[in-house]
Structure 1
């Protein structure tokens, strides 16, 4: 059920908006950010209590933004109409970070790459496997979440990755997935599927530059740790012997 209490502070909503326009989110508490978003689709009603209740339920601002519409509607004062601001700002932020990468070389824009991947998949409660499709100059053509798994693992199928790469006319790929636990260290399954993907891609002339595992404010890089180079050498040796 949406906010139904009378407006508790005359001019409060307008003060919030003026404060944001004057100095951005500097000085805003997280509940005030949520409150401001709720006011976008809640005419003439106070949303402070709903904003605070949502933070209590989902713990962090990120948790509120990542919550499903159904879960948000369980918070007193939030309903199908006024959750629009919350879901819209998350979608716009994701789109913005994605577009910043398009036609850029992510290998030379690692900060923007991490920003996009971190904010796009870190807070998801299930593992999500994302692929960045690159052209021959390593510029991003597109990004796509190809697989979503359980709380502990995702099922990644090399054949579907190859088909998606061919559909995008990609010359190279970057893989990334999140660990909901927050620990980015790779599991044996992560290492195994990375090898399978590299071998499958190399077989049709597609390069794999990187596989990142996103955790809490940190990540594991298969390239930086030498896995990508070693797996490429294994592919070369195997093909020389065959």
Structure 2
């Protein structure tokens, strides 16, 4: 059988499986392979998909890999790398936006449930702010700071400026601990105190500050610290 016809048949089978049942039954390398085919018209993408998965360990690892690291994988070209980065960026935007309009009425865990997959396994700290209206409906969720979070790195003025721009009546702060330990540090306590005082000065409530560490979570409100 002609190699090109065999390759096209394999791609059609992958795509047909996806059309029929989504990603159910797909192995991680097959998902990566399917993504790579979108940027590689006539080349077998399976070896590159398997090599990428072997190097980065998981599907998430591949999607979060830096372009300079992806370039080291034989068979990955510029279009493939742009495609992988785009999928990752779209997924992040989706996870942020899907909570807009949701009601924060029951507990902090309702919020953490939406953001856990977004923050879990991150290697850098991210500081997010969730903006709520007077009915506790979520107006927006934004990543405000990235990197090692200290009281000097998180600027209350910028947080309040963004809250006023969103016409928020209340805020929930969320950040992750890449270490896997959800317990708040002294810096976390100082940051929370500064942010709460800044919010109170403009009559904006702070409902909670959540720390996500893997599958675990710490809530300042649940521990009587808000």
Query: Do the aligned partners of 2:97 and 2:140 also contact (CA within 8 Å) in 1?
Result: no
Structure 2 residue corresponding to 1:106, chosen from 104, 115, 118? 104
* Counterpart residue number, 1:76: 74
Structure 1 residue corresponding to 2:117, chosen from 89, 111, 119? 119
SS in 1 for 2:14: helix
Structure 1: state its 5+ residue gaps: 1-5, 229-242
Structure 2 residue corresponding to 1:218, chosen from 213, 216, 219? 216
Shift of 1:147: 0.9
1:58 correspondence with 2:61: no
Shift of 1:130: 0.6
Shift of 1:30: 0.9
* Counterpart residue number, 1:97: 95
Cα distance in 1 between the residues matched to 2:63 and 2:110: 20
Structure 2 residue corresponding to 1:197, chosen from 184, 195, 198? 195
Structure 2: state its 5+ residue gaps: none
Shift of 1:163: 1.4
Shift of 1:11: 1.3
Shift of 1:186: 1.3
Distance 1:84 1:112, change over 3 A: farther
SS in 2 for 1:37: helix
SS in 1 for 2:129: strand
Query: Do the aligned partners of 1:129 and 1:177 also contact (CA within 8 Å) in 2?
Result: yes
Moved more, 55-64 or 110-119: 110-119
Distance 1:112 1:21, change over 3 A: farther
TM-score by length of 1: 0.83
Shift of 1:57: 1.7
TM-score by length of 2: 0.88
Distance 1:162 1:123, change over 3 A: same
Query: Do the aligned partners of 2:131 and 2:171 also contact (CA within 8 Å) in 1?
Result: yes
Matches within 5 A, 1:5-44: 9-44=7-42
Matches within 5 A, 1:176-191: 176-191=174-189
Shift of 1:110: 5.9
Query: Do the aligned partners of 1:7 and 1:46 also contact (CA within 8 Å) in 2?
Result: no
The alignment yields a C-alpha RMSD, in angstroms, of: 2.3
